[in-house]
Homo-oligomer: A and B are copies of this chain.
Amino acid sequence: MAKNKKTTIQDLANYANVSIGTIDRVLHNRGKVSHAKRKKVEEAIDKLDFNPNLLARTLALGREFMVCSLFPEATTSESYWSLPKIGVDQGVEGYRDFGMELNAYEYSLIDESSFVKNADAILGKNPSGVILAPLFEKESLEFVSKLEERNIPYVFIDANIENKKNLSYIGPDLKGSGFIAGKLLNSVLGPSDDILIVNMVKGFENSAHTAVVENGFREYFRLNEPRAKRNINSITIPSTTEIEVNRQLTTYYIKNPGIKGVFVSNSGAHIISRYHALHDLELKVVGFDLVPGNVVELKNGNIDYIISQRPVFQGLTAVKVLFDFFVYKKLPHSIQYVPLDIIIKENVDYYINFQ
């Protein structure tokens, strides 16, 4: 199929003995066309395997798609949120000549009002579509209901809110990611080694997410080691600063010397593992995300496994989903779980050098 040099509407017109105007009417259900000619044109479309040239169409229509992104701010290039951004930038760049344009907005994780302010700014821009990381659930719900009112399509990225009319969710299966973390940590521990789950929370983001991850983690052990006598504890540290984290860890480890493995439910594993190295503790560590700090610690051997959720790819995919919707009216799967890559010291370089 599609072997013969692609057919144009002119070819169709010749075949059906009509003008390209009539072809256009049939193709776009515009104006009236006599039954006989319509039949003939449809036959031509079928016989000649016509596929409109997207380039010419784009040029002719001169449409523009403005998409806005709303993500947590990437304080440094080291932080996780710079990665989805890279993906979005790359994606939009690839569709630039197709009329796609990006306006990126950021909100602070320690300030809900910054979310609202930026969401309002986006509404003011009246974009064609929105890519949103809905880490503040309540504010996000308000935002998307306004988007729905205005018929602006939106996709969730990295975090999901269920039962909304988003085009798609592109991101990890949170529960699955915890489950896999459980499997990996278990594989490097003895059967009675105690485990600590560390939930570091930067701001006021929805804590339900970490709870789901933790559930997945615990479920692994429930299903696979039901009679294990180990303890699995968890602490929540409302900070990501090294000083504060270290203080709480010290307190905890002194009281709980049986801990042999740590699962860090966000991208801050390197903070924990640096602490271990500093104090000569031989604990196993599993965490998330290939941020630079984690890469270093993985290579050092202070982190055993990192689970990565293809952040760059998430951004790319979100843009593609919007584009396909704009141009082809294609409805994506409503949930697109990204692969959860298992990264170890030995394969980390392949991941870094690629994207």
Q: Which residues of A contact B (CB under 8 A)?
A: 2, 5-6, 51, 53-56, 58-59, 64, 96-98, 173, 176, 179-180, 183, 187-188, 336-344, 346-347, 350-351, 353-354
Contacts and interface: CB of A to CB of B under 8 A. Distances in A.
B173 A350 contact: yes
Contact of A339 (B6, B58, B347): B347
A55 B56 CA distance: 7
A342 B342 contact: yes
Given A51-B96, A187-B187, A342-B347, 19 more contacts: A2-B96, A6-B96, A53-B59, A55-B59, A56-B59, A173-B350, A176-B350, A180-B346, A183-B344, A187-B188, A336-B354, A339-B341, A339-B347, A339-B350, A339-B351, A340-B347, A341-B341, A341-B342, A342-B343
29 contacts: A2-B96, A5-B64, A6-B97, A53-B97, A54-B97, A55-B55, A55-B59, A55-B97, A55-B98, A59-B59, A176-B346, A176-B347, A176-B350, A183-B344, A183-B346, A187-B187, A337-B350, A337-B353, A338-B350, A339-B341, A339-B347, A339-B351, A339-B354, A340-B350, A341-B341, A341-B342, A342-B343, A342-B344, A342-B347
A186 to B, nearest CB: 11
Contacts of A96: 2, 6, 51
A183 B342 CA distance: 13
Contacts of A54: 97
Contacts of A339: 341, 347, 350-351, 354
Contacts of A2: 96
